[in-house]
Amino acid sequence: QAMAARLKAAGFTDDEITLTGPNPKSQNLVVRLRGRGTRKPVLFIGHLDVVEALRKDWTTDPFKLVEQDGYFYGRGTMDMKDSDTALVVSLIRLKRAGFVPDRDIIVALTDHEEDGPDNGVYWLLENHRDLIDAEYCINPDCGHGELKDGQPIVLELQTAEKTYLTYQFEVTNKGGHASLPEKDNAIYTLAAGLQRLAAYQFPIELNETTQRYFERTATRETGQTKADMLAVAKDPPDLAAAARLSESSIYFNALLRTTCVATMLSAGHAENALPQTARAILNARLLPDDSIESVTATLKKVVADAEIKVTRRDDHIVSPRSPLRPDVFATVEKLATARWPGVVVIPTMSPGASDGTFVRMFGIPTYGVSGTFLDVDDNRMHGKDERIGVKEFYDAVDFMTDLMKALTE
């Protein structure tokens, strides 16, 4: 409602602004700067909700914007009220300047990030696709820049995300009295299967984005790491080089393969009874080109024990990679290098997820880029005293205005 009021004050009309949601307390704002209709619209998205923060843990009040020592402090300053602000300010600037884009520019500010069909961008796509249908989407929640010693060095352009899937391993047993232990123990059987999983690695699999990621990241590296990145970027990739990169960095490992890790355990019902049930919950992060059938079959093969029941606990969201569009990449690179000389623009695939997963799932290619530069040695997103540099914030707003205009001229 606050953003709708600002947009109306800037000249947007009621038929260009929509407030809608599944109930009065869960609303989403969609605003459209109308263009000439030469091409299909471009969609920009941003979630308005933030993660919880405990006032007692913070140096400042997390729910008040505080400017101090060259930073803006407050929950959401990095994730992602900074980018929401940039989207609204950019629209207002273009409107007041009389800019008429060659296509409609749509901005959707949404509730409940990654909340599935109940609300947010998923709800809009499922219930009001006409409001936000577009040729492609820009998602400023991803694609941040990296600051090293105060200097911008890298700007990411995210084109893909790994998808989230939960599995359960379960062993059942007749149990018995703990004074009469047997070798057939549900906990031991489960533990042995988990040990086999811990020793296993899914095969290395690169795609267009990760190949370009290593190719461009190599320009900032030296020695063996640089050589390995260049070798991985070849077609076919050097598997020995990929193995070394996997060992040297958990991030590189996550980019190179599907992963599955145990995250929760439960077993037994009494301290003096043999366990009748032992369960483990596992979190899998699938590469965009991997299939649920392949991952499930692999897990069953790895645990190698018919007594361990492997089941999937949720539905898998199929979210394909977005093609690395030359026009989008070239525009981002041109604007970034002009504003931050020496910055390298690097395509990325996120090990985690954002609302971009849903937009891609509904068939709209999505590109994560924000122009917000964050200190690689002091990233406080979701943490105590979340903050963003004042200069970095204003630079990101200007960058978003330039990007919004350049993509629609």
- pLDDT score for 296: 96
Distance of CA 120 to the CA centre of its chain: 15
Q: How far apart are CA 115 and CA 237, in angstroms?
A: 37
Q: Would you say 338 and 109 are in contact if contact means Cβ atoms under 8 Å apart?
A: no
Angle between helices 81-96 and 390-406 (to 10 degrees): 50
Q: How far apart are CA 148 and CA 80, in angstroms?
A: 21
- pLDDT score for 379: 85
Among 404, 407, 350, smallest CA distance to 95 is for 404
- pLDDT score for 331: 98
Cβ within 8 Å of residue 291, ≥6 positions away: none
Across-strand partners of 44?
107, 138
Among 330, 339, 337, smallest CA distance to 367 is for 330
Q: How far apart are CA 303 and CA 194, in angstroms?
A: 7
Which tokens in the block code for residue 12? 């947007």
Q: Would you say 94 and 106 are in contact if contact means Cβ atoms under 8 Å apart?
A: no
Alpha helices in 53-201 (DSSP H): 81-96, 120-127, 129-132, 186-198
Which tokens in the block code for residue 60? 């400042």
Q: How far apart are CA 87 and CA 38, in angstroms?
A: 22
Q: Are strands 105-110 and 42-47 parallel, antiparallel or unpaired?
A: parallel
pLDDT tens over the chain, length 409 residues: 999 999 999 999 999 999 999 999 999 999 999 999 999 999 999 999 999 999 999 999 999 999 999 999 999 999 999 999 999 999 999 999 999 999 999 999 999 887 778 899 999 999 999 999 999 999 999 999 999 999 999 999 999 999 989 999 999 999 999 999 999 999 999 999 999 999 999 999 999 999 999 999 999 999 999 999 999 999 999 999 999 999 999 999 999 999 999 999 999 999 999 999 999 999 999 999 999 999 999 999 999 999 999 999 987 778 999 999 999 999 999 999 999 999 999 999 999 889 999 999 999 999 999 999 999 888 888 899 999 999 999 999 999 999 999 999 9
Q: How far apart are CA 406 and CA 409, in angstroms?
A: 6
